[in-house]
Chains A and B, each alone.
Chain A
């Protein structure tokens, strides 16, 4: 029952700012620009909006302030500022869908706005003492997600024989995709010698294994499917949404570093959707690191453990292959917009509006958010009315 209920909402509009390394703008201004662009795309006006959701863990803009600044009229009936990053990135559009289904709102804007490069960067430590569980790790310099992911990647290499070349194949595939995307920040081609010669951030992860930090904003407009069908753009349906959190949030105490949240979520996702990996045309996989892509796709059954290198090198993750993984270039190359650029790309692809990087006949997209112990997956489909 929840599955059919969720299937009755859709993304009606999408908007974004330029992605840059130094915006020179406030997160509020960027959020407003992206939200207005999404409304314009849908053929809606600010006065139609009665719900808004923003999320962030470093910088963001307050949801109510964004709504006010973009020109909403009366009071909002729904507004949420969610504390979270990649872990809840996939779950944000389904949250808007839920708000619509429960009658909390009719038209919901969701956004992520951040100066992720020129503002507060991830991993920057303040001068204060370290409280909570991290007080045992940070004093050693074990402080940021890159290091946690590197710890896991090493274990995967030991257990399944995955290699630097395998991680490189993921970075290279996504960079090749980004080269056809004029919105991507990093478009210069990448080859294996360049990848292998690049500097370590935390061994075994190199700079090309890490998301490309960016400033910018992305927004989506979500409404009931029936309403979306009367609007300017073809609706893209928000389908089954499956999250998995934990047990616990600690990367260090997680039971198996070669599997992520997706090892819990994937069986439920396939069971609820009735689909299998071969049914997916586009996979926008949260890619804070290449290792995240490697493992999440394993967990979802796109290839057996340890076979990522063969899958990517063999062309199975690109045009003409089994599934096109991150056709926009992902966080690695389009830019680190904290995962909301993934549903944006899925919508473009499912509308058939992705231009030079269009995946031919794309009808079904898997979008994930999160890495390590927490994340979620959402099915997006073209309107088959």
Chain B
């Protein structure tokens, strides 16, 4: 595990609030859940207290975690501690809704092998340096 100039060896931790805590409560149970309008069905990320389309109430509902890589970068100059460089970060369009995107690390794949359009599946892993759990992506085998 790498550490930064200040000797910190873990990435920054989330500071949750009333709009985001449901996400982290779900990952604690190994579930990937996103903000979902209970009135019109719109998925919203980052989460909002009320739906931006219909102002309806929202809740965190489980998503399939399946999606397609819309773009990716390779981190070679680390911004946070806790990960060996190089590593890929992917912007994934989730199957639930056109334009619903989630950013995370892609694990288990050499950075040189990542391509736009590859299918991925989310899984929940521990975030280094604390007790939070967080979704990452892995290339889909199906």
Q: Using CB atoms, name the residue of chain B closest to A158.
A: B116
Residues of A within 8 A of B14 (CB): 129-131, 135-136, 139
Q: Using CB atoms, name the residue of chain A closest to B104.
A: A140
Kindly state the separation between the CA atoms of A151 and B28 in the bound complex, as whole angstroms. 29
Kindly state the separation between the CA atoms of A204 and B71 in the bound complex, as whole angstroms. 11
A253 touches B101 (CB 8 A): yes
Is A202's CB within 8 Å of the partner chain B? yes
What is the interface of chain B, defined by CB distance below 8 A to chain A? Answer: 8, 11-17, 20, 23, 45-46, 70-80, 82-83, 86-87, 89, 91, 99, 101-105, 111, 116, 127, 132, 134, 136
B46 touches A154 (CB 8 A): no
Residues of A within 8 A of B83 (CB): 140-141
B13 touches A130 (CB 8 A): yes
Q: How far apart are A108's CB and chain B's nearest CB, in angstroms?
A: 36
Q: How far apart are B97's CB and chain A's nearest CB, in angstroms?
A: 11
B72 touches A125 (CB 8 A): no
Q: How far apart are B5's CB and chain A's nearest CB, in angstroms?
A: 11
Q: How far apart are B31's CB and chain A's nearest CB, in angstroms?
A: 15
Q: Using CB atoms, name the residue of chain A closest to B99.
A: A255
Residues of B within 8 A of A129 (CB): 12-15
Residues of A within 8 A of B76 (CB): 199-203
Of B71, B75, B87, B136, chain A has the most CB atoms within 10 Å of the CB of B71
Q: How far apart are A52's CB and chain B's nearest CB, in angstroms?
A: 35
Is A138's CB within 8 Å of the partner chain B? yes
Q: List residues of A (111-138) whose CB comes within 8 Å of B's CBs.
A: 123, 125, 127-133, 135-138
B12 touches A257 (CB 8 A): no
Interface size on A, residues (CB 8 A): 37
Residues of B within 8 A of A135 (CB): 14-16, 20
Given contacts A252-B91, A257-B71, contact A202 B77 (CB under 8 A): yes
Q: Using CB atoms, name the residue of chain B closest to A133.
A: B46
Q: Please name the 4 residue pairs, one residue from A and one from B, whose CB atoms are nearest each other, closest first.
A: A129-B15, A133-B46, A135-B14, A203-B74
Residues of A within 8 A of B91 (CB): 151, 252
Residues of A within 8 A of B46 (CB): 132-133, 136, 250
Question: Given A136-B46, A140-B83, 4 other A-B contacts at CB below 8 A?
Answer: A138-B11, A138-B12, A140-B103, A144-B79
Q: How far apart are B18's CB and chain A's nearest CB, in angstroms?
A: 11
Residues of B within 8 A of A144 (CB): 79
Kindly state the separation between the CA atoms of A155 and B69 in the bound complex, as whole angstroms. 10
Given contacts A125-B80, A129-B15, A144-B79, contact A154 B73 (CB under 8 A): yes
A155 touches B70 (CB 8 A): yes
Q: List residues of A (284-335) whose CB comes within 8 Å of B's CBs.
A: none
Q: How far apart are B1's CB and chain A's nearest CB, in angstroms?
A: 13
List, sorted by A's number, 10 A–B pairs whose CB atoms are closer than 8 Å. A137-B103, A138-B80, A139-B127, A140-B103, A147-B73, A147-B89, A151-B72, A158-B71, A200-B76, A203-B111
B12 touches A125 (CB 8 A): yes
Residues of A within 8 A of B12 (CB): 125, 127-130, 138-139
Q: Using CB atoms, name the residue of chain A closest to B20.
A: A135
Is A152's CB within 8 Å of the partner chain B? yes
Of A135, A140, A150, A252, chain B has the most CB atoms within 10 Å of the CB of A140
Contact partner, B105, options A140, A201, A250, Cβ 8 Å: A140
Residues of B within 8 A of A160 (CB): none
Residues of A within 8 A of B80 (CB): 125, 138-141, 143
Residues of B within 8 A of A139 (CB): 11-14, 80, 127, 132, 134
Contact partner, B79, options A136, A143, A199, Cβ 8 Å: A143
Of B15, B23, B111, chain A has the most CB atoms within 10 Å of the CB of B15
Is A83's CB within 8 Å of the partner chain B? no
B71 touches A155 (CB 8 A): yes
Q: List residues of A (40-57) whose CB comes within 8 Å of B's CBs.
A: none
Q: How far apart are A208's CB and chain B's nearest CB, in angstroms?
A: 14
Given contacts A139-B80, A253-B45, contact A202 B73 (CB under 8 A): yes
A147 touches B75 (CB 8 A): yes
Kindly state the separation between the CA atoms of A202 and B75 in the bound complex, as whole angstroms. 5
Residues of B within 8 A of A151 (CB): 71-73, 89, 91
Residues of B within 8 A of A252 (CB): 91, 101-103
B16 touches A152 (CB 8 A): no
Is A142's CB within 8 Å of the partner chain B? yes
Kindly state the separation between the CA atoms of A238 and B8 in the bound complex, as whole angstroms. 49
Kindly state the separation between the CA atoms of A120 and B45 in the bound complex, as whole angstroms. 30
Kindly state the separation between the CA atoms of A253 and B100 in the bound complex, as whole angstroms. 7
Kindly state the separation between the CA atoms of A130 and B72 in the bound complex, as whole angstroms. 22
Q: How far apart are A271's CB and chain B's nearest CB, in angstroms?
A: 28
Kindly state the separation between the CA atoms of A154 and B75 in the bound complex, as whole angstroms. 13
